[in-house]
Amino acid sequence: MLDLRRQWRYLTIMSDRFRCYRMFSIEDLDKLWETATFAFDASALLNAYAYSTSTRDEYFAAIHSLGDRAWAPEHAIREFHKNRISRIKAQAKAVADIQELFLNANSELYKSLVKYYHHPAVDIRAIQSVMMSTHASIDALLIEAATRYEESVNKSNGYNPDAILDWITTAFEPSLEQAYSVDDISVHYKEAEARFQRSIPPGYKDSGKAENKYGDYIIWRQMLDRAERTRKPIIFITNDAKEDWWRRENGETLGPRPELRQEMWDTAQVDFYMYTSDRFMDQARKRKLSEVSDKTIDEISQWIVNAMGEESRRYDVVMEALPFERVHLQDLTDGSPSNLIPKLFDRIIFSPSMSFRANGDSTSAGPDSTRFNGYLTQYPENNPSKASQGEELDTVDAPRQSSDAKEPADAEDDC
Protein backbone atom coordinates (compact mmCIF):
# COMPACT_ATOMS: atom_id res chain seq x y z
CA MET A 1 0.00 0.00 0.00
CA LEU A 2 2.87 2.37 0.82
CA ASP A 3 4.50 1.70 -2.56
CA LEU A 4 1.22 2.43 -4.33
CA ARG A 5 0.86 5.73 -2.48
CA ARG A 6 4.39 6.73 -3.43
CA GLN A 7 3.74 5.83 -7.05
CA TRP A 8 0.50 7.79 -7.09
CA ARG A 9 2.17 10.84 -5.52
CA TYR A 10 4.98 10.67 -8.07
CA LEU A 11 2.45 10.32 -10.89
CA THR A 12 0.53 13.37 -9.65
CA ILE A 13 3.69 15.48 -9.51
CA MET A 14 4.71 14.40 -13.00
CA SER A 15 1.22 15.06 -14.35
CA ASP A 16 1.17 18.64 -13.04
CA ARG A 17 4.75 19.37 -14.05
CA PHE A 18 4.28 18.33 -17.67
CA ARG A 19 0.59 19.12 -18.14
CA CYS A 20 1.61 22.01 -20.40
CA TYR A 21 2.62 19.49 -23.09
CA ARG A 22 -0.57 17.47 -22.98
CA MET A 23 -2.89 18.06 -25.91
CA PHE A 24 -6.39 19.25 -25.10
CA SER A 25 -9.05 16.70 -25.94
CA ILE A 26 -12.43 17.60 -27.38
CA GLU A 27 -13.89 16.94 -23.93
CA ASP A 28 -11.33 19.31 -22.38
CA LEU A 29 -12.32 22.06 -24.80
CA ASP A 30 -16.02 21.46 -24.14
CA LYS A 31 -15.43 22.04 -20.43
CA LEU A 32 -13.38 25.15 -21.15
CA TRP A 33 -16.14 26.64 -23.29
CA GLU A 34 -18.63 26.05 -20.49
CA THR A 35 -16.65 27.78 -17.75
CA ALA A 36 -13.83 29.92 -19.16
CA THR A 37 -13.46 33.66 -19.25
CA PHE A 38 -12.91 34.81 -22.84
CA ALA A 39 -10.20 37.48 -22.88
CA PHE A 40 -10.08 39.60 -26.04
CA ASP A 41 -6.85 41.18 -27.20
CA ALA A 42 -6.70 44.63 -28.83
CA SER A 43 -5.86 42.95 -32.16
CA ALA A 44 -9.09 40.92 -32.01
CA LEU A 45 -11.10 44.10 -31.45
CA LEU A 46 -9.31 46.48 -33.82
CA ASN A 47 -9.80 44.13 -36.76
CA ALA A 48 -13.53 44.91 -36.58
CA TYR A 49 -12.69 48.09 -38.49
CA ALA A 50 -11.46 45.95 -41.38
CA TYR A 51 -14.52 43.67 -41.60
CA SER A 52 -17.57 44.12 -43.79
CA THR A 53 -20.74 45.17 -42.02
CA SER A 54 -22.28 41.69 -42.09
CA THR A 55 -19.10 40.04 -40.81
CA ARG A 56 -18.71 42.61 -38.05
CA ASP A 57 -22.33 42.12 -36.95
CA GLU A 58 -21.88 38.34 -36.70
CA TYR A 59 -18.58 38.76 -34.86
CA PHE A 60 -20.13 41.05 -32.27
CA ALA A 61 -23.13 38.73 -31.93
CA ALA A 62 -20.81 35.81 -31.13
CA ILE A 63 -19.03 37.86 -28.46
CA HIS A 64 -22.39 38.98 -27.04
CA SER A 65 -23.49 35.32 -26.77
CA LEU A 66 -20.78 34.79 -24.12
CA GLY A 67 -22.55 37.12 -21.71
CA ASP A 68 -20.48 38.27 -18.75
CA ARG A 69 -17.75 35.76 -19.62
CA ALA A 70 -16.59 38.12 -22.40
CA TRP A 71 -13.85 40.28 -20.95
CA ALA A 72 -10.87 42.33 -22.06
CA PRO A 73 -7.74 43.14 -20.04
CA GLU A 74 -7.50 46.82 -19.18
CA HIS A 75 -4.32 47.24 -21.19
CA ALA A 76 -5.95 45.64 -24.26
CA ILE A 77 -8.75 48.22 -24.13
CA ARG A 78 -6.14 50.94 -23.69
CA GLU A 79 -4.33 49.74 -26.83
CA PHE A 80 -7.63 49.59 -28.70
CA HIS A 81 -8.36 53.26 -27.93
CA LYS A 82 -4.79 54.26 -28.75
CA ASN A 83 -4.79 52.58 -32.19
CA ARG A 84 -8.44 53.04 -33.22
CA ILE A 85 -8.01 56.22 -35.27
CA SER A 86 -4.97 54.90 -37.14
CA ARG A 87 -6.86 51.69 -37.98
CA ILE A 88 -9.78 53.69 -39.43
CA LYS A 89 -7.40 55.86 -41.45
CA ALA A 90 -5.61 52.75 -42.72
CA GLN A 91 -8.85 51.45 -44.25
CA ALA A 92 -9.57 54.82 -45.86
CA LYS A 93 -6.01 54.95 -47.21
CA ALA A 94 -6.44 51.47 -48.69
CA VAL A 95 -9.18 52.81 -50.99
CA ALA A 96 -6.87 55.60 -52.17
CA ASP A 97 -4.08 53.06 -52.72
CA ILE A 98 -6.34 50.88 -54.89
CA GLN A 99 -7.41 53.92 -56.91
CA GLU A 100 -3.79 54.85 -57.51
CA LEU A 101 -2.95 51.26 -58.47
CA PHE A 102 -5.62 51.20 -61.17
CA LEU A 103 -4.74 54.69 -62.37
CA ASN A 104 -1.05 53.84 -62.77
CA ALA A 105 -1.74 50.52 -64.49
CA ASN A 106 -4.29 52.08 -66.84
CA SER A 107 -2.02 54.99 -67.67
CA GLU A 108 0.95 52.73 -68.37
CA LEU A 109 -1.09 50.47 -70.63
CA TYR A 110 -2.66 53.47 -72.40
CA LYS A 111 0.76 54.91 -73.27
CA SER A 112 2.13 51.51 -74.33
CA LEU A 113 -0.60 51.13 -76.93
CA VAL A 114 0.21 54.41 -78.72
CA LYS A 115 2.90 52.82 -80.90
CA TYR A 116 0.27 50.49 -82.37
CA TYR A 117 -1.99 53.29 -83.64
CA HIS A 118 -1.30 52.42 -87.30
CA HIS A 119 -2.01 48.71 -87.01
CA PRO A 120 -4.14 47.73 -90.05
CA ALA A 121 -6.52 45.44 -88.14
CA VAL A 122 -6.62 46.70 -84.52
CA ASP A 123 -8.44 49.91 -83.58
CA ILE A 124 -6.21 51.04 -80.73
CA ARG A 125 -8.21 54.23 -80.09
CA ALA A 126 -11.38 52.19 -79.60
CA ILE A 127 -9.57 49.96 -77.09
CA GLN A 128 -8.28 53.01 -75.25
CA SER A 129 -11.80 54.41 -75.11
CA VAL A 130 -13.10 51.20 -73.52
CA MET A 131 -10.20 51.31 -71.06
CA MET A 132 -11.05 54.86 -69.98
CA SER A 133 -14.70 53.96 -69.58
CA THR A 134 -13.84 50.87 -67.54
CA HIS A 135 -11.48 52.88 -65.36
CA ALA A 136 -14.22 55.42 -64.70
CA SER A 137 -16.58 52.60 -63.64
CA ILE A 138 -13.97 51.11 -61.31
CA ASP A 139 -13.27 54.51 -59.80
CA ALA A 140 -16.99 55.00 -59.16
CA LEU A 141 -17.17 51.62 -57.41
CA LEU A 142 -14.25 52.54 -55.19
CA ILE A 143 -15.76 55.89 -54.26
CA GLU A 144 -19.03 54.14 -53.42
CA ALA A 145 -17.14 51.60 -51.29
CA ALA A 146 -15.32 54.36 -49.41
CA THR A 147 -18.59 56.15 -48.71
CA ARG A 148 -20.24 52.93 -47.56
CA TYR A 149 -17.36 52.18 -45.20
CA GLU A 150 -17.45 55.65 -43.72
CA GLU A 151 -21.19 55.35 -43.12
CA SER A 152 -20.86 51.90 -41.53
CA VAL A 153 -18.19 53.13 -39.12
CA ASN A 154 -19.69 56.53 -38.39
CA LYS A 155 -23.35 55.69 -37.91
CA SER A 156 -24.81 58.42 -35.74
CA ASN A 157 -25.23 57.24 -32.18
CA GLY A 158 -25.85 60.28 -30.01
CA TYR A 159 -22.62 62.19 -29.39
CA ASN A 160 -20.50 59.16 -30.35
CA PRO A 161 -19.98 58.97 -34.13
CA ASP A 162 -18.20 55.60 -34.09
CA ALA A 163 -20.58 52.63 -33.91
CA ILE A 164 -17.76 50.11 -33.35
CA LEU A 165 -16.33 52.12 -30.49
CA ASP A 166 -19.80 52.43 -29.00
CA TRP A 167 -20.37 48.65 -29.13
CA ILE A 168 -17.01 47.79 -27.58
CA THR A 169 -17.47 50.39 -24.86
CA THR A 170 -20.87 48.93 -23.98
CA ALA A 171 -19.62 45.32 -24.10
CA PHE A 172 -16.34 45.57 -22.20
CA GLU A 173 -15.99 48.70 -20.12
CA PRO A 174 -18.57 47.72 -17.44
CA SER A 175 -16.27 44.83 -16.45
CA LEU A 176 -13.08 46.81 -16.95
CA GLU A 177 -10.71 46.58 -14.02
CA GLN A 178 -8.50 49.25 -12.56
CA ALA A 179 -5.22 49.97 -14.28
CA TYR A 180 -2.05 49.10 -12.43
CA SER A 181 -0.69 51.81 -10.17
CA VAL A 182 2.53 53.59 -11.09
CA ASP A 183 4.40 51.49 -8.54
CA ASP A 184 2.90 48.23 -9.84
CA ILE A 185 3.69 49.14 -13.43
CA SER A 186 7.30 49.85 -12.48
CA VAL A 187 7.60 46.42 -10.87
CA HIS A 188 6.00 44.67 -13.85
CA TYR A 189 8.26 46.48 -16.31
CA LYS A 190 11.28 45.16 -14.38
CA GLU A 191 9.76 41.67 -14.46
CA ALA A 192 9.22 41.94 -18.21
CA GLU A 193 12.78 43.14 -18.85
CA ALA A 194 14.20 40.22 -16.86
CA ARG A 195 12.01 37.74 -18.74
CA PHE A 196 13.02 39.22 -22.09
CA GLN A 197 16.67 38.46 -21.34
CA ARG A 198 15.75 34.77 -20.91
CA SER A 199 13.23 34.63 -23.78
CA ILE A 200 10.42 33.78 -21.39
CA PRO A 201 7.06 34.36 -23.11
CA PRO A 202 5.11 36.41 -23.76
CA GLY A 203 6.49 39.72 -24.99
CA TYR A 204 10.16 39.05 -25.66
CA LYS A 205 9.61 39.44 -29.42
CA ASP A 206 8.68 43.07 -28.72
CA SER A 207 11.83 43.75 -26.69
CA GLY A 208 13.30 45.85 -29.50
CA LYS A 209 10.28 48.13 -29.88
CA ALA A 210 10.70 51.77 -28.95
CA GLU A 211 7.12 52.07 -27.70
CA ASN A 212 4.81 49.76 -25.73
CA LYS A 213 7.33 46.94 -25.69
CA TYR A 214 5.92 45.68 -22.39
CA GLY A 215 2.31 45.65 -23.61
CA ASP A 216 2.01 41.89 -24.16
CA TYR A 217 3.44 41.10 -20.75
CA ILE A 218 1.09 43.56 -19.02
CA ILE A 219 -1.87 41.91 -20.75
CA TRP A 220 -0.56 38.51 -19.64
CA ARG A 221 -0.16 39.73 -16.07
CA GLN A 222 -3.72 41.00 -16.07
CA MET A 223 -4.98 37.62 -17.32
CA LEU A 224 -3.02 35.86 -14.56
CA ASP A 225 -4.49 38.22 -11.98
CA ARG A 226 -8.01 37.62 -13.28
CA ALA A 227 -7.61 33.85 -13.25
CA GLU A 228 -6.09 33.85 -9.78
CA ARG A 229 -8.98 35.90 -8.43
CA THR A 230 -11.85 34.09 -10.16
CA ARG A 231 -10.33 30.58 -10.41
CA LYS A 232 -11.77 30.38 -13.92
CA PRO A 233 -9.78 29.19 -16.97
CA ILE A 234 -8.88 31.74 -19.64
CA ILE A 235 -9.43 31.49 -23.39
CA PHE A 236 -7.47 34.26 -25.09
CA ILE A 237 -8.69 35.59 -28.46
CA THR A 238 -5.84 37.26 -30.31
CA ASN A 239 -4.58 37.81 -33.83
CA ASP A 240 -1.04 38.40 -32.63
CA ALA A 241 1.04 35.97 -34.71
CA LYS A 242 4.34 36.18 -32.85
CA GLU A 243 6.05 33.02 -31.62
CA ASP A 244 6.15 34.24 -28.03
CA TRP A 245 2.42 33.43 -27.84
CA TRP A 246 2.06 30.37 -30.08
CA ARG A 247 3.63 26.93 -29.96
CA ARG A 248 4.81 25.98 -33.45
CA GLU A 249 6.41 22.71 -34.43
CA ASN A 250 7.19 21.41 -37.93
CA GLY A 251 5.20 24.20 -39.56
CA GLU A 252 2.09 23.61 -37.46
CA THR A 253 0.57 25.86 -34.83
CA LEU A 254 -0.34 23.73 -31.83
CA GLY A 255 -1.95 26.26 -29.52
CA PRO A 256 -0.45 28.43 -26.77
CA ARG A 257 3.15 28.15 -25.68
CA PRO A 258 3.61 25.41 -23.04
CA GLU A 259 5.27 27.92 -20.73
CA LEU A 260 2.12 30.04 -20.72
CA ARG A 261 -0.10 27.08 -19.92
CA GLN A 262 2.18 26.05 -17.08
CA GLU A 263 2.46 29.54 -15.63
CA MET A 264 -1.32 29.89 -15.67
CA TRP A 265 -1.65 26.56 -13.88
CA ASP A 266 1.03 27.41 -11.31
CA THR A 267 -0.63 30.76 -10.64
CA ALA A 268 -4.33 29.88 -10.53
CA GLN A 269 -4.61 26.09 -11.05
CA VAL A 270 -6.70 26.65 -14.19
CA ASP A 271 -6.12 25.97 -17.88
CA PHE A 272 -5.19 28.45 -20.58
CA TYR A 273 -6.08 28.24 -24.25
CA MET A 274 -5.97 30.51 -27.31
CA TYR A 275 -7.87 31.09 -30.53
CA THR A 276 -7.48 33.44 -33.43
CA SER A 277 -10.66 35.34 -34.30
CA ASP A 278 -11.66 33.05 -37.15
CA ARG A 279 -11.19 29.88 -35.09
CA PHE A 280 -13.21 31.46 -32.30
CA MET A 281 -16.03 32.12 -34.76
CA ASP A 282 -15.82 28.59 -36.15
CA GLN A 283 -16.07 27.14 -32.64
CA ALA A 284 -18.96 29.45 -31.75
CA ARG A 285 -20.83 28.12 -34.78
CA LYS A 286 -20.08 24.48 -33.97
CA ARG A 287 -21.35 25.02 -30.44
CA LYS A 288 -24.46 26.81 -31.76
CA LEU A 289 -23.80 29.91 -29.69
CA SER A 290 -24.44 32.22 -32.60
CA GLU A 291 -25.32 32.32 -36.30
CA VAL A 292 -22.06 32.41 -38.25
CA SER A 293 -21.89 32.25 -42.04
CA ASP A 294 -19.14 30.73 -44.18
CA LYS A 295 -18.54 34.18 -45.65
CA THR A 296 -17.78 35.59 -42.23
CA ILE A 297 -15.26 32.88 -41.37
CA ASP A 298 -13.63 33.13 -44.80
CA GLU A 299 -13.31 36.90 -44.53
CA ILE A 300 -11.79 36.82 -41.05
CA SER A 301 -9.56 33.88 -42.03
CA GLN A 302 -8.04 35.89 -44.86
CA TRP A 303 -6.88 38.49 -42.38
CA ILE A 304 -5.40 35.81 -40.14
CA VAL A 305 -3.60 34.11 -43.03
CA ASN A 306 -2.03 37.44 -43.95
CA ALA A 307 -0.67 37.72 -40.39
CA MET A 308 0.19 34.12 -39.48
CA GLY A 309 0.63 32.24 -42.76
CA GLU A 310 -1.15 29.19 -44.14
CA GLU A 311 0.22 26.85 -41.46
CA SER A 312 -2.03 28.58 -38.92
CA ARG A 313 -5.07 27.05 -40.62
CA ARG A 314 -4.07 23.65 -39.23
CA TYR A 315 -4.37 24.95 -35.70
CA ASP A 316 -7.21 23.26 -33.78
CA VAL A 317 -7.50 20.67 -36.56
CA VAL A 318 -4.31 19.19 -35.15
CA MET A 319 -5.41 19.80 -31.58
CA GLU A 320 -8.88 18.30 -31.91
CA ALA A 321 -7.75 15.34 -33.98
CA LEU A 322 -5.69 14.06 -31.04
CA PRO A 323 -8.08 13.59 -28.11
CA PHE A 324 -6.22 12.68 -24.93
CA GLU A 325 -6.84 9.09 -24.02
CA ARG A 326 -8.67 8.70 -20.74
CA VAL A 327 -6.70 6.16 -18.73
CA HIS A 328 -8.54 3.78 -16.41
CA LEU A 329 -6.19 2.65 -13.66
CA GLN A 330 -7.92 -0.70 -13.30
CA ASP A 331 -7.24 -1.48 -16.97
CA LEU A 332 -3.56 -0.67 -16.56
CA THR A 333 -2.75 -2.43 -13.32
CA ASP A 334 -4.32 -5.80 -14.11
CA GLY A 335 -4.89 -6.12 -10.38
CA SER A 336 -1.23 -5.49 -9.59
CA PRO A 337 -0.45 -2.01 -8.20
CA SER A 338 3.25 -2.46 -8.97
CA ASN A 339 2.46 -2.31 -12.69
CA LEU A 340 0.78 1.07 -12.44
CA ILE A 341 3.66 3.44 -13.10
CA PRO A 342 5.43 1.55 -15.94
CA LYS A 343 2.21 0.92 -17.83
CA LEU A 344 0.85 4.40 -17.34
CA PHE A 345 4.11 5.97 -18.48
CA ASP A 346 3.88 3.91 -21.65
CA ARG A 347 0.69 5.83 -22.40
CA ILE A 348 2.07 9.32 -21.78
CA ILE A 349 3.69 11.30 -24.58
CA PHE A 350 6.36 13.83 -23.71
CA SER A 351 7.97 16.40 -25.94
CA PRO A 352 10.95 14.92 -27.86
CA SER A 353 13.09 17.75 -26.52
CA MET A 354 12.40 16.83 -22.88
CA SER A 355 15.37 15.19 -21.18
CA PHE A 356 15.48 13.27 -17.89
CA ARG A 357 18.08 12.57 -15.27
CA ALA A 358 18.90 8.98 -14.48
CA ASN A 359 16.93 9.14 -11.24
CA GLY A 360 13.77 10.16 -13.09
CA ASP A 361 13.72 13.83 -12.13
CA SER A 362 13.17 16.28 -14.94
CA THR A 363 15.78 18.72 -16.06
CA SER A 364 15.27 21.64 -18.38
CA ALA A 365 16.83 21.95 -21.80
CA GLY A 366 15.99 25.60 -22.33
CA PRO A 367 15.60 28.84 -20.38
CA ASP A 368 13.65 29.14 -17.13
CA SER A 369 9.97 29.40 -17.92
CA THR A 370 8.11 28.95 -14.68
CA ARG A 371 6.43 31.98 -13.20
CA PHE A 372 9.32 34.35 -12.63
CA ASN A 373 8.82 35.59 -9.09
CA GLY A 374 9.90 32.90 -6.67
CA TYR A 375 9.85 29.98 -9.09
CA LEU A 376 13.55 29.98 -9.81
CA THR A 377 14.24 29.59 -6.12
CA GLN A 378 11.41 27.09 -5.64
CA TYR A 379 12.62 24.88 -8.49
CA PRO A 380 16.45 25.17 -8.57
CA GLU A 381 16.66 22.35 -11.11
CA ASN A 382 15.40 24.91 -13.64
CA ASN A 383 18.59 26.86 -13.14
CA PRO A 384 21.35 24.21 -13.14
CA SER A 385 24.22 26.66 -13.26
CA LYS A 386 23.10 28.30 -10.02
CA ALA A 387 21.89 25.17 -8.30
CA SER A 388 25.15 23.34 -8.87
CA GLN A 389 27.13 26.22 -7.36
CA GLY A 390 24.81 26.58 -4.38
CA GLU A 391 24.37 30.28 -5.15
CA GLU A 392 21.27 32.28 -4.46
CA LEU A 393 19.20 32.64 -7.60
CA ASP A 394 18.61 35.91 -9.40
CA THR A 395 15.52 37.96 -8.69
CA VAL A 396 13.57 40.48 -10.73
CA ASP A 397 15.72 43.31 -9.43
CA ALA A 398 18.91 41.50 -10.44
CA PRO A 399 18.14 39.67 -13.69
CA ARG A 400 20.51 37.25 -15.33
CA GLN A 401 22.83 38.84 -17.87
CA SER A 402 21.77 38.73 -21.49
CA SER A 403 24.61 36.32 -22.30
CA ASP A 404 22.51 33.58 -20.67
CA ALA A 405 19.51 34.19 -22.91
CA LYS A 406 18.47 31.34 -25.15
CA GLU A 407 17.10 31.39 -28.66
CA PRO A 408 13.28 31.58 -28.80
CA ALA A 409 13.06 28.11 -30.33
CA ASP A 410 14.65 26.62 -27.20
CA ALA A 411 12.21 28.36 -24.88
CA GLU A 412 9.50 25.83 -25.62
CA ASP A 413 11.41 23.02 -24.02
CA ASP A 414 10.68 24.08 -20.42
CA CYS A 415 7.43 24.29 -18.55
- Same domain membership, residue 209 and residue 143: no
**Adjacent-strand bridge partners of 70:** 38
Classify residue 1: in a domain, yes or no.
no
- CA dist 241 to 46, 73, 131, 170, Å? 15, 19, 41, 28
- Same domain membership, residue 191 and residue 69: yes
Range with the lowest mean pLDDT among 92-101, 127-136, 273-282, 370-379?
A: 370-379
- Same domain membership, residue 192 and residue 124: no
| 380 Cβ contact list (under 8 Å, min separation 6) | 386, 387, 393
Percent of the chain with pLDDT over 70: 66
- Same domain membership, residue 90 and residue 78: no
Q: What is the pLDDT of residues 186-223, one digit of tens each?
A: 999 999 999 999 999 998 988 888 888 899 999 999 99
Residue type (1 letter), 223? M
Task: Tell me the residue range of the domain where 263 lies.
Answer: 25-84+171-317
Q: What is the pLDDT of residues 160-195, one digit of tens each?
A: 457 888 899 989 988 888 888 899 999 999 999 999
- Same domain membership, residue 223 and residue 133: no
Cα-Cα-Cα-Cα dihedral of 33, 231, 238, 166, to 10°? 90
Classify residue 403: in a domain, yes or no.
no
Q: What is the pLDDT of residues 269-294, one digit of tens each?
A: 999 999 999 999 999 999 999 999 99
Classify residue 61: in a domain, yes or no.
yes
Smallest Cα–Cα separation from 59: which of 215, 137, 164? 164
- Strands 246-249, 252-256: pairing is antiparallel
- Same domain membership, residue 310 and residue 271: yes
Q: What is the pLDDT of residues 258-272, one digit of tens each?
A: 999 999 999 999 999
**Domain boundary residue, one of 289, 317, 345:** 317
Instruction: Calculate the average pLDDT of the chain.
Output: 74
Residues in the chain: 415
Classify residue 306: in a domain, yes or no.
yes
pLDDT value of residue 155: 52
Q: What is the pLDDT of residues 3-61, one digit of tens each?
A: 655 554 544 444 566 777 888 888 889 999 999 999 999 999 999 988 888 999 999 99
Q: pTM above the 0.85 mark?
A: no
**Domain boundary residue, one of 284, 317, 350:** 317
- DSSP SS3 for 247: strand
- Same domain membership, residue 209 and residue 114: no
Classify residue 12: in a domain, yes or no.
no
Classify residue 335: in a domain, yes or no.
no
- Same domain membership, residue 185 and residue 153: no
Structural contact between residues 252 and 311, judged by C-beta atoms closer than 8 angstroms:
yes
pLDDT value of residue 58: 96
Structural contact between residues 285 and 292, judged by C-beta atoms closer than 8 angstroms:
yes
pLDDT value of residue 16: 63
* Helix boundaries (H) for 21-73: 26-35, 42-46, 53-64
- DSSP SS3 for 362: strand
- Same domain membership, residue 278 and residue 151: no
Classify residue 341: in a domain, yes or no.
no
CA distance 196 to 108: 50
CA distance 234 to 270: 8
pLDDT value of residue 132: 84
C-alpha Rg value of the chain to the nearest Å: 27
- Same domain membership, residue 146 and residue 292: no
- Same domain membership, residue 239 and residue 120: no
Classify residue 330: in a domain, yes or no.
no
**Domain boundary residue, one of 317, 341, 359:** 317
- Same domain membership, residue 299 and residue 251: yes
Q: How many domains does the chain have?
A: 2
Mean pLDDT of 144-156: 66
* pLDDT category of residue 67 using cuts at 50, 70 and 90: very high
